[in-house]
Amino acid sequence: MGLTDEQVERYSRHLILKDVGVRGQKRLLCARVLIVGAGGLGSPVALYLAAAGVGTIGIVDDDVVDLSNLQRQIIHSTDSVGMPKVRSAAGRMQELNPGVQVNAIRATVTAGNIAELIADYDVVVDATDNFAAKFLINDACVLAGKPFVHGAVVRFAGQVMDYVPGEGPCYRCIFREMPAAGEIPTCREAGVLGAAVGVIGSVQAVEVVKLITGAGEPLVARMLTADMLGMKFRTVPLPERVPDCPVCGESPTITKLDADNYVQEACAV
């Protein structure tokens, strides 16, 4: 597959990067990425992946745009208030790059539908602020052998890590069990700086591009943590393997997705 003149111009700054180049850009054009969440994290992820020329981008969310979202969910506009988030996001992504295919999926991600949702995608992005969703995305991707990029943020702090099958720990290796409801405050309860969400979502987009193109060193067996109030960024090493992990360990106890294990009130970033 050759690049058209329009693509050469549009992606020219990628093409001159030795770690991306024509080969990497072609990989992006052929890639399929599913973003779970069209809120604060999903906004920069969706915009940057569309701008980068990821050929097919699915975006799934069941919510509508609210005025209180606009402080951080920059893919939406005041005119989008009351509109399904996935429709608002898809419209903006295709304005930015008509050459990408956007699959807008208005749905709640559940144990019953996630396997089907992720089946046709190469990489999954966790852009949620809901522990049940994060554990569900992790477990579904591990069981399906799909890489995913995790992101989380609250107040002024955030974190990013990648899961690649067979190459490092999964989210459950590190956090093991879902915290009890109310144990950790959500963004709705604790607040969140809009620009901090943008930083973490942008890092997630970078990680997706790296996983697709093979550029650089992905955050596998490492977690990036960011304290943006003190402007301190750290890369924390994670264990290469966790043999007793209940989903990716040597004797897994989670071999299918049970809806009762992923019940928690959702909160979009």
Catalytic residue positions, numbered: 187
Whether residue 267 is annotated as binding a ligand: the answer is no
Whether residue 72 is annotated as binding a ligand: the answer is yes
Whether residue 245 is annotated as binding a ligand: the answer is yes
Using CA atoms, how far apart are residues 125 and 151, in angstroms rounded to an integer?
8
Using CA atoms, how far apart are residues 86 and 111, in angstroms rounded to an integer?
20
Whether residue 210 is annotated as binding a ligand: the answer is no
Report which secondary-structure segment, H or E, holds 190: helix 187-190
Whether residue 170 is annotated as binding a ligand: the answer is yes
Cβ atoms within 10 Å, residue 196: 21
DSSP letters, 95-125, are: HH-TTSEEEEEE----TTTHHHHHTT-SEEE
Report which secondary-structure segment, H or E, holds 139: helix 131-144
Angle formed by the axes of helices 42-52 and 194-213, nearest 10°: 40
Whether residue 61 is annotated as binding a ligand: the answer is yes
Whether residue 13 is annotated as binding a ligand: the answer is yes
Whether residue 63 is annotated as binding a ligand: the answer is no
Residue 195 carries which side chain, given as an amino acid letter? A
Binding-site entries for ATP: 13, 40, 61, 72, 85, 109
Residues annotated as binding site for Zn(2+)?
A: 170, 173, 245, 248
Specify binding-site residues.
Answer: 13, 40, 61, 72, 85, 109, 170, 173, 245, 248
